Structure 1
Amino acid sequence: MKRLLVGGLLATMLAPALPATAQMQKSELRASAGKPYRFRHSKLVVPATLDGIPRTSIEQFGTDELDVFARYARDSDLITVYVYRKVGGAVPVWFDRARASIEGRSEMFGTVTPSVMPAAFTPPGQANASGLVGGWTVTKPPYRGTALALLPMGDWLVKTRYSSTTLDGPALVARMPTLLAALDWTRTPAATAPAAAPVTDCATPLAFPVTAQVVRDEKMLSMAALTAGLLSSAAARASAKLATPAPVPRWCRDTGPAPVGGVYRPDAAMDRYLLAFSDSGRGVWVAPDELGPLLSEGSSPQWSIQLLDMGQTTAFPPMTALPRPDQVATALEGPMLSSTTTWGRKTQVNVNSDFMKGS
């Protein structure tokens, strides 16, 4: 039986927000000191010095350079430029998770006070205000302020954090255009991104009138095990080939409790959501299984649970109703149905043979 345990799994997914001992594998990439560095997949080029602060390292979380970052440091002044693959959600979702991460870092910043509320801006080379920026003033020495900018870049997201010992939140936000202009965007894929707006609370919270149960029917589990991986692969490749981008939903933040991260809903949907971990672009997508009822006439509705990572989607046994976020976390403790690679030229679908008994 192939099994993923929630402790190790969430430690992996939450890497940028957890202590080093609990993080996923982090490794340093070879980069020539004093020279610009081009990220392998996105083609974004970062300089050797940014706003007068020298680059100290280029690193990645995981493998295959799907989640990479450049670190700049001078004494306690820090700038970090992250580039990671967009596998779910959108700029407003991941900016909101980054905001929550900053405002929860009392051990580093003391009291964190928003001083420049999140606002949309137009990134270099783009036509729409597709990025979000915000700033915070902090009280714990040596820092005075921190700022964040997040923007889309084709299939990638770029996040820039700047924490300063001399500049407060508003001053750092004022520096962001200069920082972003110092990056070399000329080799990045051209793409038109939609305008962004900060996430707000959903007007109506999710309702769970029925307690969801794990689907036990062997035939349905066998079918789900076979189709989940194939659908993940087909969806990823179809999205990449669309001549006209799919309609972009407006995301809202559900106000109900979550075991980790936050719950976000596209267009205030009442039947699906993204459980977003940290601000690292990873999470769990929960939605009605559209294919099951078509393949098995008379079958009851069921909800799929898909864990989204930078290069892989992992499906878990479906539920009989919309599961609560804590039930989703519990589901991650159990066996997976299948895992599918969503990055690279070759697609690999691994099916858990334990669910093929009814086939």
Structure 2
Amino acid sequence: MTIRSLIVAGLLAAAIAMPVQAESKRQIEAPAGAPWKHAQTGITLPPSLLGIARGSIGDNSGSEIDVFADYGDGQATVITLYVFRPALASVPMWFDRSEAQILMRDVYANATPAAAVAAFAPPGGKATSALRRIYVPGKGPYKSTGLAIMPMGEWLVAVRISSQEFDATALDAKLDEVIKALGWPGGIADADAAVPVAACATPLTYAKRAKIKPPNMMDALLGATLATVKPTDEEKAEAVPVIWCREGAPKQEYGVYRAVGSDTGYTIAMGDAGRVINVFPGLALDSKDPGYQLSVGLLDQTLVYPSFDKLPAPEVAVDAVMKNRPVSSAARGGKNITIEAGGLKAK
């Protein structure tokens, strides 16, 4: 997870006009020789892994929704753990994004996968809802590097391990040890089986001249309201698991995804740390063409932007987020929304 801070800074800069809680990096104080428990999930990070002492514990959010811990900084084998609550809780999508970072990082010099992506059941689970893989760097100091991402309710746990001493086979076994050594909470429902992301079979067709529509109160209200709607237990039970495909070639900055069989919109996964940009058809409540709604999902809130008249290309959508102000926002897990449209504000 190498460009997390850059992506977060860019998205927050785009949202600076909104009265929202800013995300800020901070250090978490924890006794060096004792386990540290993440209050919101119950997962425990031990004082050492593979005999390597835990170093710093940090929080990119200021509210422990984006936590990381380092083990062995500067040593022959290094481990980093991430516990975060993504805007869209998809193991396959965020595994694909994290893998893209590994394959594109200069330090691994065109690393290659040692084997196919493996789906497995995380500790305490029965469904193969997690994904893992080991990679072999092309050159440089590391003999191997590995990645695993596991679901924990609406949270994800990611493990990154790189070694100058273990080959791919040995590192795979070490990755197992690390995963089992974490203090996993009980009582977490099984997530859907994880299906690795593949390239979409046919490309989407984007409008050549998609334009931002003038902001209006209805779009602002609808967009923020939809962000607060939660599915009922019955809807959850009847929901069909989404299989994601990757649209176009991945970039280090972002990847574009859509549900297999759907060609009406897409999700842009920014970086690899849980933030997304969504582009989907708006709701038609009158005779007018609703266009395509543009929104940003952060870890703690959703920001709604002026809609497009036609389906924009991903780079156009990213540019629109960076250059325009949100028209509304909704805090995650709450019902309150904030609206700002054309100078008219209401709360």
Residues 75-98 of structure 1, C-alpha deviations (whole Å, 9 max, x = no match): 242101111103215111110110
Tell me which amino acid in the other structure corresponds to 1:305: L
Calculate the TM-score normalised by the size of structure 2. 0.87
**In the alignment, structure 1 residue 349 sits paired with structure 2 residue 337:** yes
**In the alignment, structure 1 residue 31 sits paired with structure 2 residue 30:** yes
- Change in CA separation of 1:54 and 1:145 when aligned onto 2, cut-off 3 Å: same
Q: CA deviation at 1:188?
A: 4.6
**In the alignment, structure 1 residue 171 sits paired with structure 2 residue 170:** yes
**How far apart in 1 are the matches of 2:276 and 2:146?**
24
**How far apart in 2 are the matches of 1:259 and 1:65?**
25
Q: Which residue of 2 aligns with 1:12?
A: 9
Q: Which residue of 2 aligns with 1:19?
A: none
Q: Which residue of 2 aligns with 1:5?
A: none
- Change in CA separation of 1:245 and 1:145 when aligned onto 2, cut-off 3 Å: farther
**How far apart in 2 are the matches of 1:257 and 1:177?**
28
**In the alignment, structure 1 residue 319 sits paired with structure 2 residue 318:** no
* Aligned ranges 1:205-220 → 2 under 5 Å: 205-209=203-207, 211-216=209-214
Q: Which secondary structure state, in structure 1, belongs to the residue aligned with residue 299 of structure 2?
A: coil
Contact 2:104–2:252 (Cα < 8 Å) also in 1: no
Q: Which residue of 2 aligns with 1:229?
A: 224
Q: Which secondary structure state, in structure 2, belongs to the residue aligned with residue 150 of structure 1?
A: strand
Q: Which residue of 1 aligns with 2:46?
A: 47
C-alpha RMSD of matched pairs (Å): 2.5
* Aligned ranges 1:1-359 → 2 under 5 Å: 10-12=7-9, 25-73=24-72, 75-88=75-88, 90-106=90-106, 108-185=107-184, 187-209=185-207, 211-216=209-214, 221-233=216-228, 235=229, 237-238=230-231, 244=237, 246-255=239-248, 260-290=253-283, 293-294=284-285, 297-332=286-321, 333-343=323-333, 346-354=334-342, 356=344
Residues 101-123 of structure 1, C-alpha deviations (whole Å, 9 max, x = no match): 001111x2234121122121111
- Change in CA separation of 1:13 and 1:172 when aligned onto 2, cut-off 3 Å: farther
**How far apart in 2 are the matches of 1:252 and 1:304?**
21
Contact 1:50–1:72 (Cα < 8 Å) also in 2: yes
Contact 1:78–1:162 (Cα < 8 Å) also in 2: yes
Calculate the TM-score normalised by the size of structure 1. 0.85
Q: CA deviation at 1:253?
A: 0.4
Q: Which secondary structure state, in structure 2, belongs to the residue aligned with residue 96 of structure 1?
A: helix
Tell me which amino acid in the other structure corresponds to 2:222: T
Q: CA deviation at 1:184?
A: 1.2
**How far apart in 1 are the matches of 2:70 and 2:253?**
27
Contact 2:252–2:271 (Cα < 8 Å) also in 1: no
**How far apart in 2 are the matches of 1:252 and 1:79?**
29
**How far apart in 2 are the matches of 1:302 and 1:205?**
20
Q: CA deviation at 1:283?
A: 1.1
- Change in CA separation of 1:38 and 1:11 when aligned onto 2, cut-off 3 Å: closer
Q: Which residue of 2 aligns with 1:20?
A: none
Identity of aligned residues (%): 33
Runs of 4+ in 1 over 3 A off after TM superposition: 8-11, 237-243, 256-260
- Which sections of structure 1, spanning at least 5 residues, go unmatched? 1-7, 16-23
**How far apart in 2 are the matches of 1:69 and 1:182?**
16
- Change in CA separation of 1:180 and 1:140 when aligned onto 2, cut-off 3 Å: same
Select between 144-153 and 261-270 the one with higher mean Cα deviation. 261-270
**How far apart in 1 are the matches of 2:250 and 2:146?**
27
Contact 2:117–2:131 (Cα < 8 Å) also in 1: yes
**How far apart in 2 are the matches of 1:176 and 1:256?**
29
Tell me which amino acid in the other structure corresponds to 1:205: P
Residues 38-87 of structure 1, C-alpha deviations (whole Å, 9 max, x = no match): 11211101111111111011111122100001211162421011111032
Residues 282-335 of structure 1, C-alpha deviations (whole Å, 9 max, x = no match): 110111113xx12xx211131111101100110000111211111101211112
Q: Aligned residue pairs: how many? A: 329
**How far apart in 1 are the matches of 2:250 and 2:141?**
34
Residues 195-238 of structure 1, C-alpha deviations (whole Å, 9 max, x = no match): 1121110000111245322123x6xx1111222222212x2x44
**How far apart in 1 are the matches of 2:156 and 2:199?**
23
